[in-house]
Amino acid sequence: MQTVGFIGLGAMGAPMAENVADAGYPLVVYNRTRSRTEPFAERGETVADSPAEVAERADSVVVMVTDDEALEGVLDGDDGLLAGLTSDTTVIQMSTVTPAATEAAAEAVRDAGGRYVDAPVSGTVGPAEEGTLTVLAAGPEALLDSVEGILAAIGEPIVDCGAVGDGARMKLFVNLLLGDMMGAFAEALAFGTSQGLSYDDMLAVVEAGAVDSPLYSIKGENIADGDFEPRFPVDLQFKDLRYAVDEANDAGVPLPQTAAARETFSATSGLGHGEEDMAAVVKFFENVAGLSVGERES
Amino acid sequence: MQTVGFIGLGAMGAPMAENVADAGYPLVVYNRTRSRTEPFAERGETVADSPAEVAERADSVVVMVTDDEALEGVLDGDDGLLAGLTSDTTVIQMSTVTPAATEAAAEAVRDAGGRYVDAPVSGTVGPAEEGTLTVLAAGPEALLDSVEGILAAIGEPIVDCGAVGDGARMKLFVNLLLGDMMGAFAEALAFGTSQGLSYDDMLAVVEAGAVDSPLYSIKGENIADGDFEPRFPVDLQFKDLRYAVDEANDAGVPLPQTAAARETFSATSGLGHGEEDMAAVVKFFENVAGLSVGERES
Amino acid sequence: MQTVGFIGLGAMGAPMAENVADAGYPLVVYNRTRSRTEPFAERGETVADSPAEVAERADSVVVMVTDDEALEGVLDGDDGLLAGLTSDTTVIQMSTVTPAATEAAAEAVRDAGGRYVDAPVSGTVGPAEEGTLTVLAAGPEALLDSVEGILAAIGEPIVDCGAVGDGARMKLFVNLLLGDMMGAFAEALAFGTSQGLSYDDMLAVVEAGAVDSPLYSIKGENIADGDFEPRFPVDLQFKDLRYAVDEANDAGVPLPQTAAARETFSATSGLGHGEEDMAAVVKFFENVAGLSVGERES
Amino acid sequence: MQTVGFIGLGAMGAPMAENVADAGYPLVVYNRTRSRTEPFAERGETVADSPAEVAERADSVVVMVTDDEALEGVLDGDDGLLAGLTSDTTVIQMSTVTPAATEAAAEAVRDAGGRYVDAPVSGTVGPAEEGTLTVLAAGPEALLDSVEGILAAIGEPIVDCGAVGDGARMKLFVNLLLGDMMGAFAEALAFGTSQGLSYDDMLAVVEAGAVDSPLYSIKGENIADGDFEPRFPVDLQFKDLRYAVDEANDAGVPLPQTAAARETFSATSGLGHGEEDMAAVVKFFENVAGLSVGERES
């Protein structure tokens, strides 16, 4: 069984790495803040001192970091992943980055002799823990087959999105929709609250209709509970809306609702809620319209 | 068993009336275009010559017409519903109208000695045929109880939304969300198509994630099939977005995404697609960005 | 010289009526709140007890009220303008109302035997006092000629906009642009303030360039002075944006920026600034982004 | 009199350089496409083979290129401006670039021993030819004084915007307003056209009111003439709106109208009008709403 490197043990990365370990793969882990590697050391996995060391010791290396800059930080430098790559190593890039960043990373990895899979995931901490993330895999088919066991440990379905870059594009597609839906839900709830409708009735009507969605069931409960623990923070969703609108701008595709959502997330972040869960966009409307959304009947 | 009047036998009204008849209630039906009453005459139901006659002959009268103006047209005049009302008649208003219109209608009905239930429905032709519309009932509890059998024939769940007007408000709430979601879906699909993503892959990713929704499964298939038969036409969804933004404007609640969606529906209607299904908003993006959305892999 | 009736002596109407009187026309004035007629009584003008009385006593009657509803209130009823009309009377409608309202009023006036000029004005209190409002005149040319002296007392230029209704449409056109420009200015100032730019420098750069505009010079000073005295209140500008977007929605013309401006005005009104000058939209951005716009260097 | 280097002789740069030469400064010019240097060779100015050579031969070097990438291209490399800098050289950066790019350039120039002035200009080709551009100067006061003659040859007023970076920020401020105003004008004209208003009447009303602006007089004529020669192309205005929204997103300042304008410019570019003058945004509305804007009465 191949040894799997894992770089990036954040809120998403840690449970993903655990699932890979649970599937029987020996791990070599690295995290910039070293304390986050401790649970892995305790269960007997190897802790590396640098991305380069991970690359040297592993057959495949999963990278799960925050953004374009963090990915570059992992790859470059004397201690970077590229420095440690051997010709047999496959880099599985699972962070949410721009298509340009993943394509640049792929080229750098191939130039360094390695192989590259573009495989961001869709889903939040819950699905990461349960191993039910949607894996947006892209790359040569034979290469995808060779890491299928690792991907299957992390999520399902595994959707084959095409060539390198298409995974990142699919991630933008789905997160564009996610951000728009969250913003739309907040607008609808603010509207209904201003009209004197019962919050529980609104949720019941949503769940009974064509607009029903797991997103609304989860965020509807969270808002009622005043629970804005960051499963997926405002600032990360905001970043994805920025990426998506930028790509669409390059393509000449107007996205008026998405652009409006982007501004709502911008304002929510500006109001100081950037690190809270994306459901906190409702606070923008509460602030502006003097409303209290989510009050349940006693 | 009470005799039920039914005014408005359009695409939604006809199957709703059939379900009431199937539940065993004798019907008295009226429709402006008389030919639409024929299937009811054939099954032995009574056909009235005017709304007034319906009111005279029925214990409860369901009204299911297009908009505020049509509702007024049914109520007023020498042949109007109000003219035929007796003190025992309950008017069950199920059309999608503004809160102001339903409140005015309620007052007129009560002034004429009748009783009034505000009970618009959420859902399209499919649920109307299956009797699974969500009924957004509002009015005095005892009155709602007295017509529960009729409402139950038309849909479930029956959500008790509060006082008269709150049914109309809840309908605006859910249709605001519906319009925003449809517009967001069209933007996401246009974006993904511009990025070269496979349409089937996009649908698969949506269905696998938190953004999954019956709306997207249905409209996703329709768009792929080029099927824009009007389950819920662009112009009706557009009308609801206009109502909703107007109410929100009165309340000082900004709805930036909904306002953007409203303009997208406006443009789609302006491009000549107003009578097609709401999924035709995707054609606005196809037109502007020179894309063909919905092409399936062979 | 003909006797001129003047109905509506608000912030705009009063100086307009004064200019007509200064031009030598004997006046018959009416205002719902009678105290506002006192300055006119003092200068020897006739004060009427009702719109009907104005119509009976005057050759031409200027109407300058708040909106569609107020215009209807002036026209209808036993004491209404229509009740007092004689075949020689010309009604000069100068309020900002919808095209539909002015067309309906024209029809009612003609049915009552009178003549009708659609002539809203563009400009605020300053130009009203100075007699420099832009008059957006519409109606038969001979009829416009017959009241030219009155219109010339109120403003110049007098732009001949076409048939009845076109005056109202031209007013919506210019106020749409006005609202968009005010909102855009507020966004630009909020942006520049967030970037640490000097307020005075920003005004200097605007005044030196192609974007220079009397609007920005005036509102730029007002904002610096914290002077939000209502020359043209948020709520009236907001009403015009609503009218304009509604007409455009009917025509299938998308207005994405205007729709966004409408929501900003809605939020500003919701925050309690509806009766302040339209420049108060800057407070929406101050509120959301935690900025203080307009601080001058000492 | 100091020798002035001039890098970038495009539609803006060429007339700016001419004005500097006309003011008596000897020039050393460079342009990537060498043919654009010919008029300067003909008038006896020195033509350099590289940015490095310009730096070696000149006391001050004006850079006037397209964007961040072009600026980097001028600075870096063996033949780059930085390679030729001596300790007495002042770089006057006048391109429209991001604050981050100008700050990075300033640091690089100072590290190479030079001095740096951040001085983008506001205005289009006309003012560039007439020497009436607004100069948005930023940097140490003594340094600005030392190049005042050069700046004065290019434009006036020279607004002292603060520290390096503030020139770029001021440029974004004014171009944000410019883009919003152009988009708003297009919306207003599309609206008025859809309402049957005369184009000439609309321009007359704009010019008579508070919304009057040099921008509208110029673009109003251009649209009537069908003249979309690029004084300031759609794609450059679009780029600035993208920069501005990005900076505002970083600052948490929502810009809903500007975001909507950005999408309009995106769609206009996508429709193939990116290289036409920014006034071509009106074509987006013509396309979507089936209108012909700008038709003059015969």
Active site residue D171: yes
- Residue B116 belongs to some domain of the structure: yes
Whether residues B27 and B133 share a domain: the answer is: yes
Residue of B nearest to C270 (CA): B252
Boundaries of domain holding A235: 170-289
The residue among D195, A197, B264, D240 whose CA lies nearest residue C243 is D195
Of B256, B260, B288, the CB nearest to D267: B288
Whether residues C77 and C175 share a domain: the answer is: no
Of C206, C215, C264, the CB nearest to D174: C206
Helices (H), C76-116: 81-84, 99-111
Kindly report, residue by residue over D126-165, the tens digit of the pLDDT.
999 999 999 999 999 999 999 999 999 999 999 999 999 9
Q: What local confidence, expressed as pLDDT, does residue C50 receive? A: 97
> DSSP letters of C217-271?
HHHHHHHHHT----SSBHHHHHHHHHHHHHHHHHHT---HHHHHHHHHHHHHIII
Whether residues C211 and C101 share a domain: the answer is: no
- 10 Å CB burial of residue D22 (0-12, 13-18, 19+) is exposed
Q: At B298, is the pLDDT very low, low, confident or very high (cuts 50, 70, 90)?
A: low
Given a contact cutoff of 8 angstroms between Cβ atoms, the answer to whether D112 and D85 are in contact is: yes
Residues in CB range of D151: below 8 A, 6 or more apart: D92, D119, D135, D137, D144, D158
> DSSP letters of D8-52?
--STTHHHHHHHHHHTT--EEEE-SSGGGGHHHHHTT-EE-SSHH
Report the share of chain A in percent with pLDDT over 70. Answer: 100
Of A267, A270, A289, the CB nearest to C270: A289
Given a contact cutoff of 8 angstroms between Cβ atoms, the answer to whether A270 and A171 are in contact is: no
| CA distance to C228, C285, C296, per residue, from C225 (Å) | 9, 17, 9
Kindly report, residue by residue over D102-123, the tens digit of the pLDDT.
999 999 999 999 999 999 999 9
The helix or strand, by DSSP H or E, that contains position D160, with its residue range, turns out to be strand D155-162
Kindly report, residue by residue over D232-274, the tens digit of the pLDDT.
999 999 999 999 999 999 999 999 999 999 999 999 999 999 9
Q: At B296, is the pLDDT very low, low, confident or very high (cuts 50, 70, 90)?
A: confident
- The string over C249-259, giving b where at least 16 C-beta atoms fall within 10 Å of a residue's C-beta and e elsewhere, is bebbbbbbbbb
- Residue D296 belongs to some domain of the structure: no
- CB distance B211–A288 less than 8 Å? no
Q: What local confidence, expressed as pLDDT, does residue A165 receive? A: 97
Residue of D nearest to A255 (CA): D263
Which residues in chain A touch residue B96, judged by CB atoms under 8 angstroms apart? Answer: none
Whether residues B70 and B125 share a domain: the answer is: yes
- CB distance D213–C212 less than 8 Å? yes
Please tell me if residue C44 touches chain A, with a CB cutoff of 8 Å: no
Asked if the model's pLDDT at residue B132 lies above 80, the reply is: yes
- Residue A295 belongs to some domain of the structure: no
- Residue B298 belongs to some domain of the structure: no
Whether residues C194 and C132 share a domain: the answer is: no
Dist CA A186 CA C222 (whole Å) = 35
Q: What local confidence, expressed as pLDDT, does residue A163 receive? A: 96
CATH number of the domain that B118 lies in? 3.40.50.720
Whether residues D110 and D202 share a domain: the answer is: no
Whether residues C78 and C192 share a domain: the answer is: no
Point out the domain boundary residue: C122, C137, C162. Answer: C162
Q: What local confidence, expressed as pLDDT, does residue D298 receive? A: 62
Q: What local confidence, expressed as pLDDT, does residue C298 receive? A: 62
Whether residues D86 and D156 share a domain: the answer is: yes
Whether residues B35 and B110 share a domain: the answer is: yes
The dihedrals phi and psi of B133, each to the nearest 5 degrees, come to -65, 150
Task: State which residues of chain C have pLDDT below 70.
Answer: 298
Please tell me if residue A267 touches chain C, with a CB cutoff of 8 Å: yes
Dist CA C6 CA B190 (whole Å) = 56
Q: What local confidence, expressed as pLDDT, does residue A298 receive? A: 62
- Residue B86 belongs to some domain of the structure: yes
Residue of A nearest to B190 (CA): A253
Residue of A nearest to C257 (CA): A256
Please tell me if residue A174 touches chain B, with a CB cutoff of 8 Å: yes
Mutate to test the interface with C, among B98, B180, B243, B245 (most CBs of C within 10 A): B245
Dist CA A188 CA B183 (whole Å) = 14
C94–chain B nearest CA distance, Å: 25
Residues in CB range of D210: below 8 A, 6 or more apart: C123, C124, C178, C213, C214, C215, C218
- Residue C212 belongs to some domain of the structure: yes
Quote the tokens at residue B225.
């099939």
- Residue C202 belongs to some domain of the structure: yes
DSSP classification of residue C11: T
Which residues in chain A touch residue B194, judged by CB atoms under 8 angstroms apart? Answer: 248, 251-253
Point out the domain boundary residue: A162, A184, A216. Answer: A162
Whether residues A174 and A139 share a domain: the answer is: no
The residue among C158, C200, C177 whose CA lies nearest residue C298 is C200
Rounded to an integer, what is the distance from CA A25 to the centroid of its chain? 23
Q: At B54, is the pLDDT very low, low, confident or very high (cuts 50, 70, 90)?
A: very high
Dist CA C267 CA A194 (whole Å) = 13
E strands, A73-180, are 90-93, 115-118, 121-122, 133-138, 155-162
For A186, how many CA atoms within 13 A lie in the half-sphere containing its CB? 31
Q: What local confidence, expressed as pLDDT, does residue C88 receive? A: 85
Kindly report, residue by residue over A201-214, the tens digit of the pLDDT.
999 999 999 999 99
Please tell me if residue A244 touches chain B, with a CB cutoff of 8 Å: yes
Cis amide prior to D157 (ω within 30 degrees): yes
Dist CA A14 CA B257 (whole Å) = 35
Q: Is B2 left (phi over 0), alpha (psi -120 to 50) or beta?
A: beta
Dist CA B126 CA B155 (whole Å) = 12
Q: What local confidence, expressed as pLDDT, does residue A261 receive? A: 98
pLDDT (average), residues B195-213: 97
Mutate to test the interface with D, among C180, C200, C265 (most CBs of D within 10 A): C180
Q: What local confidence, expressed as pLDDT, does residue B35 receive? A: 96
Quote the tokens at residue A136.
């947006």
Report the number of distinct structural domains present in chain B.
Answer: 2
Dist CA B204 CA A105 (whole Å) = 27
ipTM of the complex in this document? 0.95
Report the share of chain A in percent with pLDDT over 90. Answer: 97
Point out the domain boundary residue: B163, B180, B211. Answer: B163
| CA distance to A16, A20, A148, A158, C128, per residue, from A27 (Å) | 12, 8, 16, 22, 79
- Residue A294 belongs to some domain of the structure: no
Using a cut of 0.95, tell me whether the model's pTM lies above it.
Answer: no
Whether residues A120 and A8 share a domain: the answer is: yes
Whether residues B220 and B125 share a domain: the answer is: no
Rg (chain B; Cα; Å): 20
Kindly report, residue by residue over C250-287, the tens digit of the pLDDT.
999 999 999 999 999 999 999 999 999 999 999 999 99
